[in-house]
Amino acid sequence: MRIDIFCRVIDNYGDAAVAWRLAKSLVQLDPTLTVRLVVEGRQTFRALAPHTGQVEVWDAHDSAFDASLADVWIEAFGERSPATLLDQFCRGRARDLRCRLWIHLEYLTAEAWAVDYHLLPSPQGVTGVEKYFYVPGFRPGTGGLFQDREFLARGERTGVSLRKDLWFRYAPGLPPDAFGVLVFSYEHDYTSFAKALAAWGSRTGRDVVVFAAAGRSQEALGRSIAPPVRLVELPFVNQSEFDQLLWTMDALVVRGEDSWARAVLMGKPFVWQAYLQPEGWQSVKVEAFLEVLRPWFADQTLFDRWATLHRELNERNAEGQGRGDFSVLWEEAPALERALGEFAQYAKNHLRLEASLLEFLRRFKV
């Protein structure tokens, strides 16, 4: 089966990161697949994935690229080009097409509508080509979460020595038994975060290191973090390196989609900051996620603390800035790991996106 995956490289590689993970996950699952990733900005994409192995990466504007070779098209998130290019191509050469199946891959959401939309047809009026929505989600009946076998296997290999080696690359001399928090978020005033972390560190005598991922949160952390808490400002790292870093952490502040899904599958203490939407719509998405996770917490007081942190981090207005009791991430780390770990196990067993997607594609005998 030949699969072309189309996506854009925008906004700190969020969309491309998901599309790349899909591409490599499909190949991991079935090495006989021919998977091509078609991106706008192939050169830029290299920073995310310098080595793509079996997956061919094409620039959407490369005149040598021939979309008619694929059996399946997957447009990641759909809007604007290259999906538009695909659309034009499809209508212009419908008779020459080999492709019979066109998948619109939607953004990950915990909202209930994901169940309703998942696998709905989306007829495009092109003879012989069937288009379907594929909606990733956290609920049964949705498309699930990208697992990425390689990513999950990394978790089993992460030990003190890897942590020591990896951390040494960015900040020699860090104690490998320090409490490590990685922050990859949108803008936020991290004053309360820094104070709470410093207070906990001095109370427990534990070394604390904050890794600020390249991007919007780095500047804010630079203003807030002060000794004895160590701040490591990370350069932009490729996805493989970022995955390894995630596994070496004790707690995470994640954003968007891909790092959110990684945090969920890892079962480590984390808080998620959603993409900012008009009229505070990101809160709807956050509440839906909390609704899904609530039953996995035996201790509802703990859940309420964790949920409050999510709400405060996602308020995104002037009053919300600087707020957020992040201390639940370290003070309640073992209890959070138990609750989130159970959901992670459930997700790994029942929300397997690439396996479900492949099964769906095979139903069409393409």
Partner 1 sequence: MIAASELRVGDCFKNGGEVLVVQKLEGTKTGRNMSVTKLRVKNLLSGVTADAAYRMSDTFEDVDLDTKKMNFQYNTGDTYNFMDNETYEQYEINKEDLGDAPNFIWEGMDVEIVFYEGKPVSVKLPILVDREVVYCEPGIKGDTSGRSMKHAKLDTGYEIMIPLFCEQGEWIRVDTRDGTYKERVKK
- Strand order, beta sheet including 34-40: 56-59, 34-40, 2-8, 72-76, 101-105, 130-134
Closer of 124 and 327 to partner 1 (Cβ):
124
Please give the full DSSP string across 256-270, using - where no structure is assigned. Answer: TTHHHHHHHHHT--E
The binder of partner 1 chosen from 133, 167, 270, 326 (CB under 8 A): 133
Q: Which stretch binds partner 1 (CB under 8 A): 103-111, 138-146, 204-212, 218-226?
A: 103-111
Closer of 131 and 268 to partner 1 (Cβ):
131
**Nearest approach, Cβ of residue 298 and partner 1 (Å):** 28
Task: Give yes or no for residue 315 binding partner 1 (CB under 8 A).
Answer: no
The single residue listed with the structure tokens 């998130």 is 77
**Nearest approach, Cβ of residue 104 and partner 1 (Å):** 7
Cis peptide before 228 (omega within 30 of 0): yes
**Nearest approach, Cβ of residue 120 and partner 1 (Å):** 4
**Nearest approach, Cβ of residue 132 and partner 1 (Å):** 8
**Nearest approach, Cβ of residue 17 and partner 1 (Å):** 13
Mark residues 48-77: x for contact with partner 1 by CB under 8 A, - for none. Answer: -----------------------------x
Report the SS3 class of residue 354.
helix
Report residue 73 CA to chain centroid gap: 21
Segment 107 to 126, residues that bind partner 1, using CB under 8 A = 107-109, 111, 113, 116-117, 120-126
- Number of amino acids touching partner 1 (CB under 8 A): 30
Task: Give yes or no for residue 106 binding partner 1 (CB under 8 A).
Answer: yes
The binder of partner 1 chosen from 127, 227, 235, 319 (CB under 8 A): 127
> Phi and psi of 329, rounded to 5°?
-65, -30
Segment 80 to 99, residues that bind partner 1, using CB under 8 A = 80
**Nearest approach, Cβ of residue 349 and partner 1 (Å):** 25
Report residue 226 CA to chain centroid gap: 29
The binder of partner 1 chosen from 173, 227, 278, 334 (CB under 8 A): 278
> What six digits make up the tokens of 304?
């309420």
Task: Give yes or no for residue 317 binding partner 1 (CB under 8 A).
Answer: no
Contacts of 58 (CB under 8 A, 6+ apart): 36, 37, 38, 39, 42, 65
**Nearest approach, Cβ of residue 117 and partner 1 (Å):** 5
Task: Give yes or no for residue 277 binding partner 1 (CB under 8 A).
Answer: yes
The binder of partner 1 chosen from 236, 281, 346, 364 (CB under 8 A): 281
Element (H, E) at 286: helix 282-293
Segment 3 to 42, residues that bind partner 1, using CB under 8 A = 11, 15
**Nearest approach, Cβ of residue 14 and partner 1 (Å):** 8
Query: What sign results for the dihedral spanned by CA atoms 50, 56, 57, 62?
Result: positive
Per the document, the length of the chain is 366
List, in sequence order, every residue forming a beta bridge with 352; answer none if it has no partner.
145
Mark residues 325-344: x for contact with partner 1 by CB under 8 A, - for none. Answer: --------------------
Closer of 121 and 205 to partner 1 (Cβ):
121
Report the SS3 class of residue 349.
helix
Q: Which long-range contacts (CB under 8 A, 24 or more apart) does 111-116 make?
A: 111/137, 111/284, 111/285, 111/288, 112/139, 112/288, 114/139, 114/142, 114/143, 115/139, 115/140, 115/141, 115/142
Is the Cβ–Cβ distance between 148 and 155 less than 8 Å? no
Q: Tell me how crowded residue 301 is: count the other CB atoms within 10 A of its CB.
A: 10
CA distances to 250, 254, 268, 296 from 333, rounded to whole Å, are 8, 16, 8, 15
Rg for the chain (alpha carbons), in Å? 21
Is the Cβ–Cβ distance between 134 and 114 less than 8 Å? no
**Nearest approach, Cβ of residue 123 and partner 1 (Å):** 6
Q: Which stretch binds partner 1 (CB under 8 A): 78-86, 189-197, 224-232, 347-355?
A: 78-86
Positions that interact with partner 1 (CB under 8 A): 11, 15, 77-80, 104, 106-109, 111, 113, 116-117, 120-127, 133, 257, 275, 277-278, 281, 284
